[in-house]
Amino acid sequence: QKEVEQNSGPLSVPEGAIASLNCTYSDRGSQSFFWYRQYSGKSPELIMSIYSNGDKEDGRFTAQLNKASQYVSLLIRDSQPSDSATYLCAVKEYSGGGADGLTFGKGTHLIIQP
């Protein structure tokens, strides 16, 4: 049984600060890791993907992966009120051919306080 764990929050962060979101996963066969942002009433939007250990930066977002610890995180710098949303961590196992769906965590509700 693949499991992806996230702190449900809410996580409250002042505007302009760094928001840190964490995720752990149980399946060591997981090879691909994703962060989705979901606004209330909307579908998930892909914001970051990471496949190798270390950091990956894209604008104000940095994803960090540590496969040995089975841990993936998302940092949001200079947090804005528009970043307030639920952030979903998703993992994918490698089985060749890319035919696997995603296993999602329950999401962390992030609130950026103006």
Interface region with other proteins, contact rule CB under 8 A, candidates 18-26, 57-65, 66-74, 90-98: 90-98
Q: How far is the CB of 39 from other proteins (least distance, A)?
A: 12
Tokens of 17: 């600060």
* Binding status of residue 88 toward other proteins by CB under 8 A: yes
- Among 103, 83, 99, 95, smallest CA distance to 34 is for 103
By CB under 8 A, name the one of 49, 75, 93, 111 that touches other proteins: 49
Q: Are 91 and 34 in contact (CB under 8 A)?
A: yes
* Binding status of residue 109 toward other proteins by CB under 8 A: no
* Binding status of residue 61 toward other proteins by CB under 8 A: no
* Binding status of residue 103 toward other proteins by CB under 8 A: yes
Q: List C-alpha distances in Å: 7 to 36, 62, 89, 108, 114.
A: 15, 18, 11, 6, 22
Residues that bind other proteins (CB under 8 A): 32, 34, 42-46, 49, 51, 88, 90, 92, 98-107
